[in-house]
Amino acid sequence: MQLELNFDEHILNPEALLTHRLRSHEHQKRLEKVTIGISVRKLRIRNRMKQADLARKLKTTQSAIARIENGKQNITLELLIKIAGALGKKVAIKFV
């Protein structure tokens, strides 16, 4: 999804700029979820686990793991830490 607006559209239609910014923010949030999900999937596969195996360790369902891996599930930092632990990893957060 690529959003582009030219300068004239911003001047003539300020709502277009706001819509563009909102969509960009929504796109960024979705991208962050997908990136986390891909990381979870890679680690799970590296650990030779099926989604159901990870789900059992976390006391959740296989479909919940699938939603996380596909970026369709919001997850808390607490859950991310549990997932990392189940996969033999730690969570590191850095601000750049």
Q: Which CATH number does the domain housing residue 55 bear?
A: 1.10.260.40
CA angle 94, 44, 42 (to 5 degrees): 60
Q: Give dist(CA 50, CA 41) in Å, integer.
A: 9
- Say what the pLDDT of residue 22 is: 58
Q: Is residue 80 part of a domain?
A: yes
Q: Is residue 94 part of a domain?
A: no
pLDDT in tens, 31-51: 777 788 999 999 999 999 999
Q: Give dist(CA 35, CA 40) in Å, integer.
A: 9
Say if pTM beats, i.e. exceeds, 0.85.
Answer: no
pLDDT band at 4 (very low <50, low <70, confident <90, very high): very low
Q: Is residue 95 part of a domain?
A: no
Q: Is residue 69 part of a domain?
A: yes
Q: Is residue 45 part of a domain?
A: yes
Number of domains comprising the chain: 1
Q: Is residue 40 part of a domain?
A: yes
Range of the domain at 22: 7-86
Least confident of 7-16, 57-66, 84-93: 7-16
Give me the chain's average pLDDT, please: 81
